[in-house]
Structure 1
Amino acid sequence: MDNNQAENAIRPSVIGRKNWTFSVSEAGAEANAICLSMAETAKANGVDFYQYLVKLRTKLPNLDIHRTLETLNQYMPWSKTIQATCAKK
């Protein structure tokens, strides 16, 4: 048994960590962690990250997600609608 898959998944983060140590603030570091987490989750679910970001940035501002949090489930990388519209080709 080996952990090659896990090592390959975190390699981009490890390579860039020296650059990210210069985050100006904790908020910047947290934003970076969120973006990397989104990218890796999209990649793990076979979603094209660029298409996924475009979809999120165009649809989410028009939704009332503060009242109905279950609406967010439709925009997770593993949802059927995202899989259908943003799948890697």
Structure 2
Amino acid sequence: MEYPSSEWSKLKRYVEDGRYSIDNNVQENAIRPFYVGRHSWSFSDTVAGADASVNLYSLLQNCPVNGIDGYPYLCALFKALPTAQTADGFPALLPWRIDPTSA
């Protein structure tokens, strides 16, 4: 009974506010790809390869946040990538700026 007593103020919040979830499954499912990816990233041969993997992974994780399907986005990205001649052209290729139906 010592643990619930010491955490009583936090436990009360769940009962007082019906918006709080009884578990954290949504949060755990959101971070699961990072956890699984962490194991895969340990096999990167070079720092540049690990950086490339992280950049690609970040792009793909931004797709669902912006309501975009990742595969059509990647198709459109690889088609439009040669048009970015300088670093200033890359922001136009972000998931929320490129039209995934243009692939």
TM more than 0.5: yes
Contiguous gaps of at least 5 residues in structure 1: none
**C-alpha displacement of 1:39:** 0.6
Instruction: Say if 2:37 is the partner of 1:16.
Output: yes
CA RMSD of aligned residues (A): 2.6
Contiguous gaps of at least 5 residues in structure 2: 1-19
Amino acid at match of 2:99: I
Deviations 1:2-54 (A, max 9, x none): 66554432211202312221111111111111111011001211111111111
Q: Is the 8 A contact 2:84 2:90 kept in 1?
A: no
Alignment of 1:30-41 (within 5 A): 30-41=51-62
Q: How many residue pairs get matched?
A: 81
Q: Percent identity?
A: 37
Match in the other structure for 1:77: 95
TM-score of the superposition, structure 2-length normalised? 0.61
Structure number with greater Rg is 2
Which structure is richer in relative contact order (CA contacts within 8 A, separation 6 or more)?
1
For residues 90 and 48 of structure 2, what CA distance do their matches in structure 1 show? 23
